[in-house]
Structure 1
Amino acid sequence: MKIKTLLAVSTVFVSSFAIAQQTYVNKNGSMDYMYSKKAPSQPAQGTQYYIEKFTPAKIDDSKEVALVRYNAYNDEMELKINDEIMVLEPKDDMDIKLVNNAAEYKFVKYKKEEGDAAQGYLVVISNNPNVTIYKQERIYLQPEQHPSVGYQKYKAPKYKELSPIYYIQLNNGPIVYMSDRRKDVYKLIPGKEKEIKRFIKDNRINVSDDEELKELGNYLSTLL
């Protein structure tokens, strides 16, 4: 009975494998090459948004409330107008505040870690007279993966969140990359390394946490 069961399972496995992978044999009976059928592509899984729903917001100084959502994959602000989805035309320093205080987005120029200039939407984390800390929300598309051999499975493309990147602006200067390494944060304000280090250690500040970065921004503002 066990032998029959084993033979049956083996037959199913071989049959399944044969469907996925075929062998071409020429007239002389010798094998020339093997091939497998390519799986059809599927729509991407996941989402391009941190907040999927459209949220009421005010744009710049407008008194009107608009329905918006941020597309983190395309770095675009979408509007919902009469059940149609539009893309907001950005302009320098455009400010978009969600009315429930969930987030505030600004369209600004900034410098990446490598020093390259860029422009896009950043989330305001801490806003003080002398110090503003921003966060860049990021989503990327993981490519689809086709099996290289018959027994592997096809994997559809998928949107995935990346760790956020932080930026800082001091005294209305340029917005520059802000490292999340503590030893780099200590040096944000030249000559104030000891004070910053003491504050971070005494208050156990996590420099990758939005709420705690608000505290850090408030403190840095007092040093300028």
Structure 2
Amino acid sequence: MKLSLQTICISMLLIAVTTEVYSQRETSPHDREFSFLSNNINPLSNYKLPTEATYQSLVANAEGSQFYEETFKKATISNTENVFNVRYNAFLDEMEILDGNDIALIDKEYQKHLISFLDGNISYKVLWEKHKNAKASLAYFVQLEDNNYLSLYRKDSKKYVPSRKQRANDTGKFQNVRSRFYVEINHSGKAIPLPRTNKEFAALFSDKRAKIVAYMKSEKLKVRKENDLIQLINYINEL
């Protein structure tokens, strides 16, 4: 039985039913673990698009892919001991998981989960992302550095570009969006976007600005380069 968090909040009756089903499934540590995860995923068809048919049609007819990797990969999810089959949907910004023969979405509301892929040594974490003229929303970020003071993340995504031609057989396509870098301060759960110039970056740390500028110059670092940024964040954490 799968219930979204929104549905649970709407109906107290469904909460009671869910609690009863959950207690019936708690027969072993393995069962409890998988039950906890299963009760916190939403069906892919419930994604907020005009209709499921619209989404499926868009994906079927578009050039390229909404995924960086179509294949489900083995991954662990923090607070569980099982290994799951997972893939990242870079267009929807959703983490898809095989639930039996079905594809479901991991609920972002459980943002304490760290999803770590065994192949490629890449981990995703959910953080609050602030948008211009809009409310903040939960989004997936690639964790590059995890520190008590300053943690570093990369945001990867894809966009759908409609066809600009008027021919009936023309289709849109999925394109990569340039990755952006973010920091999280003191594990606050909030992603802060980093500027793309060294001068603007150093200005974020007024009390350490002089040392950061000097270090960037001596090491010839550029905040647009991922490896340089990782080195710089590690330096700032040591100040």
| TM-score, L = length of structure 2 | 0.67
Q: Please, which moves more after superposition, 173-182 or 132-141?
A: 173-182
**Which of 211, 216, 223 does residue 207 from structure 1 map onto?**
223
Q: CA RMSD in A?
A: 2.4
Does 1:54 pair with 2:62? no
Q: Higher relative CO (CA 8 A, sep ≥ 6), structure 1 or 2?
A: 1
Work out the number of aligned pairs and report it.
179
Say if 1:56 and 1:67, in contact at 8 Å, map to a contact too. yes
Contact 1:113/1:176, CA 8 A, preserved across alignment: no
Q: Which runs of 5+ in 1 are unaligned?
A: 1-40
Amino acid at match of 1:219: Y
Q: Is the 8 Å Cα contact of residues 66 and 79 (structure 1) preserved in structure 2?
A: yes
Instruction: Read off the aligned partner of 1:119 and give its amino acid letter.
Output: L
Query: What fraction of aligned residue pairs are identical, expressed as a percent?
Result: 24
| TM-score normalised to structure 1 length | 0.71
Residues 32-111 of structure 1: pairs in structure 2 closer than 5 A: 43-90=61-108, 91-111=110-130
What is the CA–CA distance in structure 2 between the aligned matches of 1:76 and 1:222, rounded to whole Å?
34
Mapped partners of 1:129, 1:190: distance in 2: 19
Deviations, residues 30-86 of structure 1 (Å, cap 9, x unaligned): xxxxxxxxxxx9810101112332111111121110111110110110012444322
Three-state SS of the structure 1 residue aligned to 2:119 is coil
Contact kept, 8 Å, 1:138 with 1:164, in 2: the verdict is: yes
C-alpha displacement of 1:113: 6.1
* The structure with more helix, counted as a fraction of residues: 2
Partner of residue 157 from structure 1, selected from 160, 168, 172: 172
Instruction: Specify whether residues 116 and 216 from structure 1 end up closer, same or farther in structure 2 by C-alpha distance, changes over 3 A only.
Output: farther
Q: Distance in 2 between matches of 1:184 and 1:115?
A: 24
CA shift in 2, pair 1:115/1:170, >3 Å: farther
